[in-house]
Structure 1
Amino acid sequence: MTVFPTETLHSSLRGLSIWWEVLFPALFPFFVISELLLGFGIVHFFGKLLDPLMRPIFRLPGIGGFVVTMGYISGYPVGAKLTAQLIEQRLVNRAEGERLVAFTTTSDPIFLIGAVSVGFFQNVAIAPILAAAHYGGGLLIGLLMRFHDRHAPSSGTKKTAISRDGFRKRRPSRISEALKAMHEARLLDGRRLGRLLQDSIQSALRLMIVVGGLVVFFSVVMEMLTHAGIIEAMAEVLRFLFGLIGLPKPLADAGIFGLFEVTLGSRSAGTAGTGLMHQAAIAAWVLSWGGLSVHAQVASLLSKTDLRYRPFFIARMIHGLIAMTLVYLLWGWLGP
């Protein structure tokens, strides 16, 4: 930073611009809304409704369905943020939280379609294959993660009530149970609308400042590593490995940039010029791996809970490999 002060300043401003112009307007509303939905008990309502679906498929309580939906719609790190909130309210246990974070940390559709497909590849027809590989791979990770910590008990399991005469009591309808859960959650929270809105905005702003700081930090780190020649050395090693397995060597640059940051890796994949199928495959890997910048954001959220980072890291690695494989398998059906 002392040797390259101008480049340090420019890279820092570039990271700040990405945060202010892209991440802040995209993520801040979702963070505020998620806090409000938790305070009003609406998350608990949908949790009860989705319980029969989520438990047999993903070994998660129904409330995890809300995290899956919000995570896939709004992108990283919303899934980790919501999971941390559920952990704090003791609505999921550690094993369930680690399963949730593992497969709800995905790119949002707006970034995948608008930025990557249209902006970087300049080919909107690439969007279906990228979406199928990325989100399909995420769901496959969810199915695989159901075996994670398999001996851990499920949260919120209740035995069927039995009356004194030995007959099972008639269970209320799923809707009435959901409404009751929402009402109880609202009473337990107890905050008025004004206070709830204020707390939601303050919590969202604190998280956005952390996200912005990490984006600026990794922008400077990437610039310094590039000027120090370390990025080129890493790319050369990856080119050699790609040559051994038959992948085009120019894709190594996208792989190295994507290792650190999603936007840089996706942009490099779109301009690699090695053939659209191979470029889409490396872009799917970049989107699914998430970059160390996203990993740092998730780790900062998990540090406030008892959730471990290692299952998330392993899931990202597997997700990236699955997404790449799906691009090659589905190219004949969904490729442009």
Structure 2
Amino acid sequence: MRRHVIKSLMNGRVSMRPMNTVLRNRIRSVTLGAVALFLVLSLILYPEQAFQSSLKGLKIWWDVVFPALLPFFIASEILMGFGVVHFLGVLLEPMMRPLFRVPGVGAFVMAMGLASGYPIGAKLTARLREQKLISRTEGERLVSFTNTADPLFMFGAVAVGFFHDVSLGVSLAVAHYSSSLLLGFLMRFHEPKGAATPSPKEDSTFFLWRALQAMHRARLSDGRSLGQLMGDAISSSVNTLMGIGGFIIMFSVIIDVLTQVGITGIFAAAVGFLFKGIGLPEELAPSVIAGLFEITLGAQVASQVPITVHMAYKMAVTGAIIAWSGFSVHAQVASILSRTDIRYTPYCVARFIHALFAGSITLLIWEPVGRYLLTSDAAVPAFLRQIPEAGWAGFPERVQYLGWRALLLLGTLMLAALGIRAIRRLLLR
């Protein structure tokens, strides 16, 4: 550093860049160390609260997260190993590339992510990057809009469990998924000059045959037998879910400790002052602070806001919390993406934009959706069917509920891609 400064002085200029970098790194080290020390001291001061919050986080992971995500993690690994993802990539290339500037294999991640919930979109994006099926820039675009909440959480946990009205889940789901697709289109402009994977070569061969050939080549390239593939899929999925469980438990403890110390109250007062300035009810501030850290706790606090606050504002804040997903999910995604070169910062910015989109769209559609549900009472139960119960007792129903929705979404995407392909061929004639 001294040589650099002397050389800069000899050239007639002074560069403070090395000194600024060293100072910034030292401040970061001191800050992180102080935060870690504060958390440890808080755990020592409040051991009972920490233990109870650990049990609460463990129960959420074991009863909800583990049985919900394990079959989809295993199935996705097997589908990748057998080349089915490559097959879908060739079929869905005409739709995914123009709309979202990601390869066709991104449609598989989108279908599984939208149907199965956090953090399966990040897990599958990382796997595609590890297999060199997407570039770093394409991975950052893909994970930004495919890592979403699942319909069971919005309808079962939030609408029924917290607000005791299943029809409220319609507004949440419509706003969440429409804003997710809007975000995906917006993220196509992320790093416009970033590296892109080559599109499948178009030739006179029938596209279904090209897709089958891609699947066959991928299976031969993988080379693992069914038994070995299943064993690897199970061990990889369980290891990932163990890490997710650790994050859920740790953030459950952190939130309770910060509440005991009074930190969340200070932040809530600041957010309440901001809400008052922009015309939003300041009673919603505590739910925003809770949702900043953990999605379930934020939605629960929003449902407990006094009835004097209009339901539209409650649902808008809840929708924004679900889209943001909380630091707990962010930490899970950062851990998964750390195995690749996909950066976390674009994902974090995309979550903030998704939260703004979801909250705004919820307010916009509140009146139309409410009027529709009031005039067609029979539509909601017929559309939603029976929501599976949480825990291992409802495990088969949960897999069926989410699995059919993933297949339905994939089928819709395939029909759309086939339509685009047919229109393109007619225009080229």
Give the TM-score band, short-chain normalised. over 0.9
The answer to whether 1:286 aligns with 2:328 is: no
**Long gaps (5+) in structure 2:** 1-42, 374-429
Amino acid at match of 1:99: R
* Structure 1 counterpart SS, 2:104: coil
1:232-272 deviations in whole A, cap 9, x for unaligned? Answer: 11111111111111111111111000000000001111121
* Structure 2 counterpart SS, 1:2: helix
Q: Distance in 2 between matches of 1:150 and 1:95?
A: 9
The answer to whether 1:4 aligns with 2:46 is: yes
Superposed displacement of residue 157, structure 1:
2.7
Superposed displacement of residue 158, structure 1:
5.5
Q: Distance in 1 between matches of 2:328 and 2:223?
A: 36
The answer to whether 1:26 aligns with 2:68 is: yes
Alignment of 1:97-246 (within 5 A): 97-157=139-199, 170-246=203-279
Amino acid at match of 2:79: L
What's the TM-score, normalizing by structure 2? 0.75
The answer to whether 1:326 aligns with 2:361 is: yes
For the Cα contact (< 8 Å) 2:90–2:200, is it kept in 1?
no
1:129-161 deviations in whole A, cap 9, x for unaligned? Answer: 11111111100000000000111242023566x
For the Cα contact (< 8 Å) 2:121–2:143, is it kept in 1?
yes
* Structure 2 counterpart SS, 1:146: helix
Please, which of 261, 269, 286 is the counterpart of residue 294 of structure 2?
261
The answer to whether 1:317 aligns with 2:352 is: yes
Q: Distance in 1 between matches of 2:55 and 2:199?
A: 50
For the Cα contact (< 8 Å) 2:144–2:347, is it kept in 1?
yes
**Long gaps (5+) in structure 1:** 161-169
Q: Distance in 1 between matches of 2:168 and 2:204?
A: 49
Q: Distance in 1 between matches of 2:129 and 2:137?
A: 10
Q: Distance in 2 between matches of 1:13 and 1:325?
A: 36
Which has the higher mean CA deviation after the structures are superposed, 35-44 or 269-278? 269-278
Q: Distance in 1 between matches of 2:285 and 2:319?
A: 14
What's the TM-score, normalizing by structure 1? 0.96
Amino acid at match of 1:216: I
Higher helix proportion (structure 1 or 2): 2
For these two proteins, the number of residue pairs brought into alignment is 327
Amino acid at match of 1:205: V
- Which of the pair has more CA radius of gyration? 2
Q: Distance in 2 between matches of 1:255 and 1:14?
A: 21
* Structure 1 counterpart SS, 2:198: coil
- The list of structure 1 runs, each at least 4 consecutive aligned residues, that deviate by more than 2 angstroms after superposition, is 156-160
Q: Distance in 2 between matches of 1:261 and 1:53?
A: 34
Identity of aligned residues (%): 50
Amino acid at match of 2:343: R
